[in-house]
Structure 1
Amino acid sequence: MNPLLRALEGIVQIDIGLLPKPLTAEKIRAAIAEQLKNQTFSGKVSADEAEQVARLLEEKHGISMGLGAIVDAKDFVPWLNDAKINGDVGDFYWGRYRQLLFKKGLPKSVIEATDTVTDKVLDRIGNPRDLSRWSRRGMVVGHVQSGKTQNYTGLICKAADAGYRLIVVIAGIHNNLRNQTQARIDEGFIGRDTGRLAHANKAQRQKIIGVGQFDQREFPVSLTNTLRDFNKATATTNTSQIGQYNVPVVLVIKKNSSTLKNLLEWLKEHSVHQGTQMVSQPMLLIDDEADNASINTAYARDEVTRINGQIRELLSLFHRSCYVGYTATPFANIFIDPDTDDEALKQDLFPRHFIIGLDAPSNYFGAQKVFLDARDQHVRLIDDNEDVLPMKHKIDHPVDVLPGSLLKAVRAFIVARAIRNARGQQAAHASMLVNASRFTDVQGRLRSRIADVVGRIRDAVAVEGGKGRAALHNPEIAALHAVWEEQYANAEGADWSAIQARLHEVLVAARVVEVNASKRSQALDYDQGGEHGVTVIAIGGFSLSRGLTLEGLTVSYFLRNSIMYDTLMQMGRWFGYRPGYEDLCRVWIPADGVGWYAHIHEAMDDLQTQLKRMELAKATPEQFGLAVRSHPESLIVTARNKMGTGKELPVKVGLAENLIETTRIVLDGPQLRANIRAGESLLAAAVKSGVCAVERSRGNLFQGVGVDLIMDFLREYRTEPGARPVNPLTDPKLINDYIDARAGSELEKWDIFVASSTRRDMKSLTFAGLDVVPYELSVDTDLAKSGILAFSGASRRIGSSEDESEGLTDKQIADARETFRLSRDDQKLPKTVNPRIYRQVSGRRPLLILRLVKPKLEATRSTGDALHGVLAWGLSFPSSQIGGGTVEYIVNTIRMREMFGEEEIEEEALGDAE
C-alpha cells in the first residue's frame, strides 16, 4: 500500500473508532467518502484504491462470516430445537469451546456463525436419543485452509452434549496430519495433552490445555494421542467396552487400512451386542479430507477399495451412526459411482442426506485475492526452472543448483519474517512452503541445498550484519537488500535498517525441514516456538498438499502441475488467514498454474452458487450431484475417476450457462489456415445476410446471426486434421447435438463478437476486413513438442470474462452485476465477476467469440510465416428452458490419458499407505 493510502487508512481508522457500533460496510465506506473530499486525497485516490482501503478496514474491524447453503433430502425431519427445549442437549463441551474461541480472539460474528452452522449440521446427523436404527450420510464443503477443523471440532463438542458416545475422526493418510489433528482435538474438545497422558512417568501425565482451562469436570476419553495412532492393546487397557463410560470416547485415526482393520476388530471383540452383532451406542464419524482415499475408485462394479469398504463396515457396526465428510474439493464425492443405481447409492458414502456449503469469513486469503483481486501484489512467476529443476523429472534427478526464482523466494521469506518481527509479530509463527517435486529423494536434495543457502546467509549476517550500510558489501546481504527493494520496499514497517537489525534473530531461529513419508522427515512442531515463534522452511510434496496446516505461511514456492481440481486446490496451502501480514505474502508459481487456479476458483464459485440455487429450489443432494455432473468440466473428472477401465463412458453433459473454448489446437499449418478462412467466411456470410459490425471498446459485434451460419462454421473449423478432437469439450458432435435440439427456439439467433486484445504494444492484424489485435499467449512447452498448442496454460480461458457481456445492453449489464453483488454474502462486487451472471440474463442470445492468438513458441514457425495468428473460438451459452438440458457424450478414457496423462501418484503416499 502506498503512503497516501496508508495515510487515508489511518485517518479513517480514527473516524470509525468514534462511530456507534455495530460497524458496517456502509459506515466504513461513508467515512472514506467523507475523507476523499479533503484536499489531501481529493482526485488522488481512485475508486479501486478507496475500495482497497475499505476492505482492509473491514477485515480489521468487522470480520463477517456467511451461513452457507444447505441441500437436504426430502425426508429430513428437524429434531434439535425440540431436544433443546426438552433439556436433552447440554452445553458443557460447546460452552468450553466457545470460551476458547473468544480467548483466541475470534470476532464475535464468526463465533456466532460457527454456532449457527454447527447447529444446522447437528440437526441433520441424527438424534442420538432416537433408539430406532438409523444411518445418515452428509458432506460439508468448505474452502482450503478456511477453518473446517474449527467447524468440525465445534460439531464434535455439540454432538457430545447431545449424547453421542463414540466419535471417530479420520484425519488424512499421513502421521503428521493425524498428529496435528489430534492436537487440535486435545485443545478444543478433550482439554488435556494426550501425549502427556500417554507418558510412562505419572508425574508428567497431567497437562491441562485449551478447553480444560475453563472446566475440568468431564474429560472425554481419548483412545489415541498425539504420539500414537489407534492401538488395540492400549484401547483394551483403557476400557473393554465403549458403553462403560458416561463421557464421550474419541479416536483420531489415520486414513489407513491397517488402522481401520484394528479398530474394526477391537469393536467386534469388545463392544458389539451379542444378539445383534452391532454396537448400541450412537457414533459420529468425521471424515476430514473426505475426497482423499475414502472414495470407491475400484474399476470393476463388484470391487470396492479397501478404505472405502472399511469405512462402510465401520458404520454398519453401529445401530445408530452418522458419516460427515469434510472437504474443500467435493468433486470426487459428487462423483461417487456416477453410474450407480439407487440401491448402490444407499450403500456408498454419497452424501444423500445433506450437503452444506460453508462460507469463508471476509478476511479469508483465498484464490480470489491471490490470483484475481491482488495477483500483481502476491504472485511471482517461475520461468527459470527447466534447465535445473524441470517440471517433469525422475526420482534420481540431481539438484546441484537451485533455480534463481527459488533463491529469491527463500530470501523473500527471510526478509518478510524480519518485517513481521519489526511489526511486533515475533511471537507468531512464520512458514515457507516449497513444493517442487513428488519424489521424496528429490525433496531431500532440495532441503540440503536450501539449508546450505540459509547457512551461508546466517554466516554472513553473523559477521557483517552489525555494520550498517557497510554490510551491503557482502554479496549475501546485498542479495537480501535487492529482494527487499523489489518486493517489500513500500511495505509498512519495512525500513531496511529495521530489517537488517532483525536478520540475526530470524536466521538463528530459522529451520529447514523435510515433511514427507521418508525417515528424514521432521515433525512441524509449532508448540516449541516459545516467545519468538517458529520460523521454518518446509520442503515436501503430498504431505504438504493434504490438510496439513503451515502456521503463519508467508511465502510459497510451488512447482507442480496437475489437471485435477482437487489435487491443485489441496496443494494450495497458501490459502487461509494472514492477519497483519497479508501484504507480505508471495506465491511463486509457473504461469500455467496461475491460469489453472483462476479457472478453478471460478469452478468452485459456480459450485457454491449452484448449491445456493438448489437450496432455494428445495432440491435433494442426488439432484445436486446430477447437476454438477452435467457440467462440461465433469468430462475430465469422470474420466479420470474411472481411468483404469480404458472403456468408453457415457456422460450426460449440459452446456446451458457454460462457456466452451478452444484452447488446444494441433500445430498443422494447412488446418490452421483453413480455420482462419472458416472464420472469415462466417463473417462475410453474416454481412451478406444484412448483419452489420458494431465497433465496441474491445472488438466488433455482429448481432442476430442465424444459427445455420454458426453451425456451418463449427463444422468447418477443426482442432486437428483427424476425426478425434484434441479437447473433448470442443467436439463438434457434442456441441452440434446440443445446438440442434434448440436451433428452432432458444439458439435460433446468435451474436458474434470478434475480440481484440487491449495490449497497446501489439500490432493489429487484418481479419475479415477488420483490424484485430491478437492475444499473445504462452503455451505448454511439452504439449507443443507433441504438436499441440495448449493456450493459456491449461485453464481454458483466453480473454476477459467481460467479453461475455457483449450483446447485452448497458442496463442489462448493470442489473446482472448488481444481482451478482447481492448474491454474495459480503454484498461486495469483486474486481473480477463470475461471467455466468451474463449467461443468466433473461432473453439473451448465445454468443460466439472469435479471437486471433499469437502463440509464444518457436514451433509456430513450422506453420509458415504468413499465418495471421491462430483463430480460437468460445461459445457462451445462455440459460435453457428445454427439459433435461443435457446431451450424452461418450468419454474414451484411453484418449483422456493421451490428452492429460496419468493422474499423478505420489511415491511418498504409496510408501506411507502400505
Structure 2
Amino acid sequence: MAKYMTEATGVKRFKDQPGYSELTSLVHAWVDNRVDREAPSEDELRTKVQRLAVVVDDLADVAETDLSDFLDAVTRELLTQVNTTQEIGEAVVSADYSPWIKDRWAQESSDWSFWSTYKRLLQVEDRPSKMIRTLEDDVKNILDLAGDPTVEGQWHRQGLVMGDVQSGKTSNFIGLMNMAADAGFGLFIVVGGHTEDLRSQTQERVDDGFIGRRSFDIDARNQSHHQPRGVGKIRKRNQSVISGTTVESDFVAGSDRTQLGDLDSSVTAPVVLVVKKNSRILEKVAAWLKTAAGGGTLSTPLMFIDDESDYASVNTNKVDQAEATAVNRAIRSILDRSERTSYIGFTATPFANVLINPDAEGDLFPHHFVYSLYAPSNYLGVQTYFSDETRDKYARNDLKDAESTFPFRHKSTHVVSEIPKSLERAIDTFIIACAVTDLDSGTRAPRSMLVNVSRYREVQSQVHRLVEEHLSAVVSVIRNMTPESIEGAGGSALVQRLRNRWSTEYSTLKYTWSDIARVLPDAVESIETELVNGDTAKQRAQSAEVRSRSQNDSGRRFIAVGGAILSRGLTLDGLVVSYFYQRTQLSDTLLQMGRWFGYRDAYKDLVRIWLPLEVMDWFLFTADALAEIRRDVSVMRQAHLTPREFGLKIQKHPEALKVTAANKMRHADKATVDLSFDRQSVETTTAAIDQASTSSNRSALRDLLSACEGEVGDAGLPASRQLVGAASHVAYSRIGRLAVEDFFGSFVPGSGDANFARNSEGASFVSEYVRSMDPDLGEYWDVAVMSGQGSTVEVHPEIKKISATRRNKASKVDASRPYIEFAQRRLASGDNLYDIARNLDNGSVVRWNERLAARSSTQSVRSGLATGVNVKLGESDVCAVIDRPILMIYIIESNPPSTDLRPDRAYIEAEDSVIGLKLTFPALRKSDGSVREGNKKTQYVVNRVWMQESGLAKEDRVQGVVGDDE
C-alpha cells in the first residue's frame, strides 16, 4: 500500500495532500468534456492524472517517490468515480402538464447560483461526475413537474418521487430546494421524519446543502458565531437562507427565528422550516402561516417536501374529509395557506401512496406526477446482498440461538440475561472490520454497527447494557496486550475467537493476522456503544452537538442498539455490520429497516449482515414487488398515461407478509393475475388512433405479411396460406416466430392496455412472454388477418381483399396520445378462434375429437361426433387443443355516426388502419404430450384505477379475477 494510505508511516492521507482537490477537479472536467462521453480506461485515466499533476502548483515540491504513491492513490479513487453510472429517472405526468424549465434554463438572465453552489459542493465531496449530471437532470425534471413559481394566480400541484432505501433521496430533494430557490420558490417546508432524531438529521443535511451554516448558530444564544458549513464555504457572494428551525429545535411559533413579519413583503431570502411529522407541530406551522398572510393566503410560492411520505401522511380513516387523520389534515391545511403550492412526497416504499383513492377530494394522491429515480451502479441494494450469487459473501444466517434470547414474539417485560453467541460473533466481526479500516484508510474513518432485535425500549436497554459489558471485556483484554502477544498462536481464548473471525470473514483480503494484531489495540480502544431510542434522544443530541463543536465527530466508532428509530430514515455513518433479528409482516416497514443499503464504495468488502433466512427472502420478495411498480411506471410513461389513468398493482406475499398496514389499504382490493398466458387468449382492449401510431402499425402489418408471403413461397419451409370461413379470413399456417417477434417490436398499442403497453425498453407484458416462450412451443405461429362485414381495405399487395371489422360503441379517449376503447373491452368474435384453429389443423386429431365428444355429450347432441360438424368448441377448449400460438389481426372501423349518438363515440374509417390483436397460446406440454403447468397465479393488492381499467370494478367491488375462463 502506498505511503499516503498508511497512518503508521506518519504520512498524511492522500486526500489531505494540498493539490488533491485541484487535481481531481481538473480530471473531472476532462472526463465531463470527453466527446464520446464514455468513461476512460484505467490506462487513459492514469496517463491524464500524471499529465495534469504537472500544472498543480501544490504538487511541485512533493518528492518523486511520494508523488508517485499519491498519484497512484488518486487514480484508483477516481477510477471508481468515473466508472459509476446512473440512469435518468422516468416520469408519469398529468394532462395539464406545461413544460417550462427548459426555456428558463436557456435564458442568459436566469440566475442558478444556489444550484451551482450545491453542485460544486458535491464535486468537492468527490461525488462521481456522472451521478452529478444525472442528479441535475433529475432535479430539473422534478422541478419542471412541480410547477413554475412565476406563474401568477392560484394553482396547486401534487407529486410523488420514488427512490431506493438509502440511495440519495435527501441529496435529491436538497438539490431540488436549491434549484427551486433560483427559480422563484420562496418558502420551503420539509417534513424531516417522525422523530426528533430524524428531523435533526435532516436539518443537518439542509444546513450543509442549502442554508450554508450551522443552524444552531442561528439561535439567539449563538448569534456571534455564524459558522459556515457545506455550501456556505463555497458561495462567492452573499446568499442567505432564513431557517426557522435548528438542529436543536423544531418549529416554535413564538421564537425569534419565526418572527419574520409579512412573508410576502418583508422577506427577501428563501425561508426554510425542517419539522417533524407530528400533527401538533404541523398545525402550529399552518396557524403561523395564516398569521403571516394576514389571515388570508400567501402569494409566496410554497414547496412542501414530505420525506418518507408513505409514513403517517396518508389518510387512513374511513371517512375521507371529516375524519381525515391529523397529520394528513394538517399537511393539507398548510398547503391551503399559499396560492401557489407544490407538494412533493419522497419515499422508497410507495405502497401506501399508490393505494390512495384518486377520487378523494383534497387527499395527497400524486395527481400530477410520479417520478421514479434510479439508483447508480455503485448502490448496494437487496439483490447485491441477498441474491443467490452474493448472499454467501454478505449474509450470515447462523442465528438459531437468537430465538431463545429475544423471541420474535416477546413482550415489553421480556428479560434478556445474556447475548447469544451469534451476536458475539457479529461484534467480533465489527472489531476486526475496524482494524481493517485502520490499515486501509490511513485515518480513523467512521465505522458503525447496528443491533436491532426488539421494538420495546425496555428490552433494547437490556441488550445495550449486555453489549456494552461484552465490548468492555474485550477492550480490557486487548488493551493490555502487545501486538506480538495478540499475533502469537498461544493467545487467550478471546484472541483466538477474534482470530477465527478474521479467518472466517476477512482473511481473503490483503492483510495478514500479523497486520491486524498490530492495529487491534488502537482499533478497539475507540469503539463505543449507544442506545438509540426515544428515551435517549436528548442525551444523544447534546453529545452530537459537543462533538460537532469540538470537531471530534469524524472517525467515530460505535455500536448502535435500538429499534424503531433505526428502522426508518436514520443513517449510520460507516455501517459495516448489522445484527437484525426482527420480524414484521409489513413490506414497507421491512424494507425501511435495511439501514445497510446504500453506498459502501470504500468498504463494501467489509459489510456483513446477520439475519434469519426467512427474513432475507422477505427482503427479496419486497424488492421484486417494488421493481414491478417501477416497471408499471415505465409502462405508464410509454403509454402517455397519467397517474389517474393507470392502475397500479402490488404483488402480495403468498404467506404472512403484507404490503402495508391495513388502514393504508382501505381504497385497495385484491385480484389474482396470471403471470403466464399458456392455455389463454389475450386481446387488445384499446387501439391507438393518432396518425403516427396508425402509420407505424400499417407498416408493421405490411412487413409481417411480407414475411409470411416469403415463407409461403419458400419450398423448404412448412408455411402455407389459405382462406378460412365464409368471410375469407387470410390465414397463414406455421410461420416462423421471428416474424411475429419483429411485428411486436414495431406494433404501437393503444394507451390504457396493461397487457400490451410498452415499458421503457420498448417491451410489453405480452411481447416479453412471446420472446421468452419455450422455442419448441413457440417456434411456429399461425397468423390470420380477419375479414369482417365492413369496408374493403388493402393491407398488402399479395392480398386482394380484406373487409374491416365494424365495432359497436367504440369510445374515444382524449389523451396526449388519443385512443379508442372497445365496448365491454372485447375485440374478437367468439367463433373466430375456432374457425382459424380448426381449419389450419392446429392441434392433434385426438385432442380435437376428445374435446368435441365431451362438448357434444354436454349438449346432448349425438349426431356428427366423428367430424364435429354441428359442434363448435369454446375458447378454453381450443386453448387446450392447439399446439401452436395463434395471432389474429383485425382492421377496425366504426359504425356510421348516425347509429351511435353518444358524446364520446369514436368515428373510425377503414382507411385509418386502426389495428386490434388477439393472441391465443397453447398449453405447455411435456415430451409425452401431457400438460405441464405454467406459472402459478399471483395475488396482487390493486388500487381502484387498476380495478376499473381491468374491467373488474363494479360499484367498488371486484367481480372476478383476471385470467379466469369466461
Q: Report the TM-score, using the length of structure 1 for normalisation.
A: 0.66
TM-superposed CA distance for 1:440, in Å, is 0.9
Partner Cα distance (1:327, 1:132) in 2: 30
- Structure ranking higher on relative contact order (CA contacts 8 Å, 6+ apart): 1
Alignment partner for residue 267 of structure 1, among 262, 283, 289? 289
Residue 251 of structure 1 pairs with residue 273 of structure 2 = yes
Indicate the residue corresponding to 2:392 in structure 1: 376
SS of match in other structure, 2:598: coil
Alignment partner for residue 494 of structure 2, among 476, 495, 519? 476
Alignment partner for residue 551 of structure 1, among 568, 573, 581? 573
Alignment partner for residue 138 of structure 1, among 159, 165, 168? 159
TM-superposed CA distance for 1:456, in Å, is 0.6
TM-superposed CA distance for 1:241, in Å, is 2.6
Query: 1:848–1:876: 8 Å Cα contact kept in structure 2?
Result: no
Partner Cα distance (1:656, 1:152) in 2: 38
Partner Cα distance (1:371, 1:639) in 2: 20
TM-superposed CA distance for 1:605, in Å, is 1.5
Structure 2 vs 1, CA of residues 845 and 619 (structure 1 numbering), >3 Å: closer, same or farther? farther
Structure 2 vs 1, CA of residues 472 and 273 (structure 1 numbering), >3 Å: closer, same or farther? farther
TM-superposed CA distance for 1:131, in Å, is 1.1
SS of match in other structure, 2:535: coil
Counterpart amino acid of residue 260 in structure 2: T
1:322-471 aligned at under 5 Å gives the runs 322-337=342-357, 342=359, 344=360, 346-372=361-387, 373-381=389-397, 382-424=399-441, 426-466=443-483, 467-470=485-488
Structure 2 vs 1, CA of residues 248 and 483 (structure 1 numbering), >3 Å: closer, same or farther? same
Counterpart amino acid of residue 341 in structure 2: S
Counterpart amino acid of residue 552 in structure 1: G
1:18-33 aligned at under 5 Å gives the runs 24=38
SS of match in other structure, 1:322: strand
Structure 2 vs 1, CA of residues 480 and 622 (structure 1 numbering), >3 Å: closer, same or farther? same
1:11-66 Cα shifts (integer Å, max 9, x gaps):
xxxxxx999996858978999xxxxxxxxxxxxxxxxxxxxxxx999855410111
1:545-624 aligned at under 5 Å gives the runs 545-624=567-646
1:626-705 aligned at under 5 Å gives the runs 626-628=647-649, 641-643=661-663, 651=669, 653=671, 655-657=673-675
Partner Cα distance (1:808, 1:473) in 2: 72
SS of match in other structure, 1:124: helix
Query: 1:146–1:364: 8 Å Cα contact kept in structure 2?
Result: yes
Indicate the residue corresponding to 1:298 in structure 2: 317
Task: Calculate percent identity across the aligned residue pairs.
Answer: 31
Indicate the residue corresponding to 2:850 in structure 1: none
1:517-548 Cα shifts (integer Å, max 9, x gaps):
11476348485774960111111111111111
Partner Cα distance (2:587, 2:395) in 1: 20
Indicate the residue corresponding to 1:536 in structure 2: 558
Indicate the residue corresponding to 1:308 in structure 2: 328
Partner Cα distance (2:570, 2:104) in 1: 36
Counterpart amino acid of residue 291 in structure 1: D
Residue 185 of structure 1 pairs with residue 212 of structure 2 = no
Residue 286 of structure 1 pairs with residue 302 of structure 2 = no
TM-superposed CA distance for 1:635, in Å, is 12
Indicate the residue corresponding to 2:141 in structure 1: 120
Query: 1:299–1:642: 8 Å Cα contact kept in structure 2?
Result: no
Partner Cα distance (2:177, 2:253) in 1: 23
TM-superposed CA distance for 1:224, in Å, is 0.3
TM-superposed CA distance for 1:202, in Å, is 3.8
Structure 2 vs 1, CA of residues 318 and 490 (structure 1 numbering), >3 Å: closer, same or farther? same
Structure 2 vs 1, CA of residues 201 and 139 (structure 1 numbering), >3 Å: closer, same or farther? closer
Query: 1:291–1:333: 8 Å Cα contact kept in structure 2?
Result: yes
1:749-764 aligned at under 5 Å gives the runs none
Alignment partner for residue 194 of structure 2, among 164, 173, 176? 173
Partner Cα distance (2:220, 2:883) in 1: 69
Residue 212 of structure 1 pairs with residue 232 of structure 2 = yes
Counterpart amino acid of residue 409 in structure 1: A
1:817-896 aligned at under 5 Å gives the runs 874-875=935-936, 884-885=949-950, 887=952
SS of match in other structure, 2:159: strand
After superposing the two structures, state which structure 1 stretch, 110-119 or 425-434, moved more: 425-434
Unaligned runs of 5+ in 1: 1-16, 32-54, 661-699, 705-737, 752-806, 810-840, 850-870, 893-914
Partner Cα distance (1:221, 1:638) in 2: 43
Structure 2 vs 1, CA of residues 164 and 222 (structure 1 numbering), >3 Å: closer, same or farther? same
Partner Cα distance (1:451, 1:742) in 2: 73
Root-mean-square deviation (Å) = 4.2
Structure 2 vs 1, CA of residues 385 and 877 (structure 1 numbering), >3 Å: closer, same or farther? closer
SS of match in other structure, 1:123: helix
Indicate the residue corresponding to 1:822 in structure 2: none
Partner Cα distance (1:237, 1:474) in 2: 61
Structure 2 vs 1, CA of residues 501 and 89 (structure 1 numbering), >3 Å: closer, same or farther? same
Structure 2 vs 1, CA of residues 287 and 659 (structure 1 numbering), >3 Å: closer, same or farther? farther
Counterpart amino acid of residue 629 in structure 2: L
Alignment partner for residue 512 of structure 1, among 529, 553, 573? 529
Alignment partner for residue 491 of structure 1, among 495, 509, 512? 509
Query: 1:847–1:875: 8 Å Cα contact kept in structure 2?
Result: no
SS of match in other structure, 1:242: coil
Q: Report the TM-score, using the length of structure 2 for normalisation.
A: 0.62
Matched pairs, number: 656
Structure 2 vs 1, CA of residues 559 and 633 (structure 1 numbering), >3 Å: closer, same or farther? closer
Structure 2 vs 1, CA of residues 424 and 623 (structure 1 numbering), >3 Å: closer, same or farther? same
Query: 1:847–1:877: 8 Å Cα contact kept in structure 2?
Result: no
SS of match in other structure, 1:518: helix
Structure 2 vs 1, CA of residues 576 and 320 (structure 1 numbering), >3 Å: closer, same or farther? same
SS of match in other structure, 1:455: helix
Counterpart amino acid of residue 219 in structure 1: S
Counterpart amino acid of residue 67 in structure 1: I
Report the structure number with the largest CA radius of gyration. 2
Query: 2:355–2:668: 8 Å Cα contact kept in structure 1?
Result: no
SS of match in other structure, 1:247: coil
Structure 2 vs 1, CA of residues 175 and 421 (structure 1 numbering), >3 Å: closer, same or farther? same
Query: 2:91–2:369: 8 Å Cα contact kept in structure 1?
Result: yes
1:421-464 Cα shifts (integer Å, max 9, x gaps):
11025342111111110101111111100011110110010112
1:799-810 aligned at under 5 Å gives the runs none
TM-superposed CA distance for 1:108, in Å, is 1.1
Indicate the residue corresponding to 2:791 in structure 1: none
